[in-house]
A = this chain, B = another copy of it.
């Protein structure tokens, strides 16, 4: 039976990407060698890396003066690297606290200097995006999280920023148009809209580096990786290859402009059902609702067993909510077809009808 994969990450990837990736594990580039048994310095893989970098630049309109890196360690390693590379000795940085991941980013910065929290939605279990704060121009940088996977909230308008702007876009990069020139550093774990787990995308304005006065260990220094074009040491070959395929799929689809429209339609379909169905309610503040992660609850917990049975039988997987929010979370990333969301909506409608 076809599965409708609403997993929060690692998550659904395009079927044709999976087919190409599967084939390349057996025979890559028609060389009778597997993608994963060739040298990362060989021409075929160097071309993969270059193509992946160029697709990022093209899809996001990355301006000149920025480098595109494929690193390891996930966003969690970037929490540390951002502070290491941008916070001056005895310096300070401003953070928004919009969820579990933002909190971890703040913790790493606090270890290295003064981390000020400007906007904080922990008072309401992170169900909204803080607004109206003013970023001081005295801090070394400002850090925010564009989309909060666990709570289903998303920044719709980025604040005016008089200092360096850094953003963790792990769960919504490539899902909507973003003016990269307004950011100095963007990072994202691959495993939502870009590819499989195991690589981290970093887009960084070169000129912001080298001013902290801090001794940065080799592997944590962005300049190490910029100077070697993400090949300082052996890169994660397979995750980068599959990311390249996924970015090519997105380009063929019409790029970020096209997917943004599709993602909005998908989100509207599901949020409309949540709002109109008497059995459900959304958890995030309406104006801050994420187009990637849709969090909702059953108003009456006694319906849980029936609902769980129904979506299970419909081939739906991965919609259990995160333990800190409860209920359900439908992650509807780029590769999720609207047909799968319709299946979920139909189940929700059926539950309501049954209830009458």
Contact = CB atoms under 8 A, between A and B. Distances in A.
Interface in A47-81: 72-77, 79-80
Contacts of A13: 34, 36-37
A124 interface: no
A40 interface: yes
B7 A39 contact: yes
B34 A18 contact: yes
Contact of A36 (B76, B197, B235): B197
A108 interface: yes
Number of identical protomers: 2
A238 interface: yes
A197 B22 contact: no
Given A197-B235, A198-B238, A18 B36 contact: yes
Contacts of A36: 10, 13, 18, 21, 196-197, 242
| A interface residue count range (under 10 / 10 to 19 / 20 to 34 / 35 or more) | 35 or more
Contacts of A26: 18-19, 22
A33 to B, nearest CB: 5
Closest 4 CB pairs of A and B: A198-B236, A36-B196, A72-B72, A22-B25
Interface of A: 1-3, 5, 7-13, 18-19, 21-23, 25-26, 31-34, 36-40, 72-77, 79-80, 104, 107-108, 111, 189, 191, 196-199, 215, 217-220, 232-239, 242, 317-318
